[in-house]
Chains A and B, each alone.
Chain A
Amino acid sequence: MSNRPPDPDADLVIRVGRGDPAAVQALMARKLPRMLSLARRMLGDASEAEDVAQEVMVRAWRQAPTWQPGAARFDSWMHRVALNLCYDRLRRQRERPMAEPPDQIDPGPAPDAGLMGMEIKDQVEAAIAALPERQREAIVLCHYQELGNIEAAALMEISVEALESLLSRGRRALRLLLNPLNNRRLEGLA
């Protein structure tokens, strides 16, 4: 007998597998915004995030008729698919040849300096995009997707201690990037 709590999506997924239109609508309402948010924050691009979210949902539709409750939570499985798709795209972005390799270090302002002229929410978005991928993934999974530490660590295939380290470093980096912004915000509230 497993001590694992029951999968809250299990019944819905079984009904989707039978082609129940109401279940299709319910699962989409529950998961599509979640997958879109994950992809958007991982990739930093609205259009690519839509593609990823759509692909995850299509794979969920395909998976539903043969889904076996108990093996893994359906939400975890969807996160795994979404993260793989995001990493495929991030890898392709890295491998894409640059039109003209830079001859010298860009003399322009540092990336964080560019944050100052943006709206606050855009600055936060840019700061998250500037994080190393694994720190960003840890923060997206734990803070935004609200996954537990064990589930997030399992998805990232790391220990809970390693996850905590990534979270701490990520949050410290964000605090440094957003600190002037935070001070201004607090001044505005005072």
Chain B
Amino acid sequence: MTPERFEQLAEAYGSDLRRWPKTEQAKAEQLRQERPVWARQCLDQAADLDDLLGLYRVEAPSMALRERVVAMAPRPQRSLLSKLLGEWRGWGMGLAAAGLAGLMVGIGSVSLMMADQSTDVTVASALDGQSVYSEAVAFGAEETL
């Protein structure tokens, strides 16, 4: 490796040779050992900037962010048995709901029928009363006449 290339790499990747291209690290290390004073000066300049860049730290993710992210994560996959049980539970709920709905319809129908019957009786009574009244009026009229 040439000294120029060493400088280029320090300029681009900074003072830590572990950040340099893997294919050039061994040759760079060899040059550093051959010319330690020069290499130290070269790397120190890059290290100053590295130290400053290290001051820019980002806060850890907030609890709220972590909770939002976890809430959207995949759920555990269910086994075939639990899936079937789940489906049976679904069907059971459906059947129960259907049964309940049928019961409600049945009760409603009976109530309506009973209501109809009592209405019929009332109407019939009313009609009967009306006819009695009519007959009475007619009778009275006949008497009056």
Contacts and interface: CB of A to CB of B under 8 A. Distances in A.
Interface string B19-40: 1011000000000000000000
A125 interface: yes
A40 B58 contact: yes
B145 interface: no
B12 A171 contact: yes
A53 B24 CA distance: 34
Interface in B44-97: 46, 48-53, 55-62, 65-66, 68-70, 72-77
Contact of A124 (B14, B53, B69): B53
B8 interface: yes
Contacts, number: 110
Given A40-B58, A64-B74, A178 B52 contact: yes
Contact of B70 (A25, A142, A168): A25
A120 interface: yes
B: contact size bracket: 20 to 34
Given A61-B74, A168-B11, A178-B49, A121 B56 contact: yes
B72 A18 contact: no
Nearest to B65: A50
Interface stretch (A30-38, A69-77, A84-92, A105-113): A30-38
Interface of A: 16-21, 24-25, 28, 32-33, 36-37, 40-41, 46, 49-50, 53-54, 57-58, 61, 64-65, 120-121, 124-125, 128, 139, 142-144, 146, 148-150, 160, 164, 167-168, 171-172, 174-175, 178, 181-182, 185-186
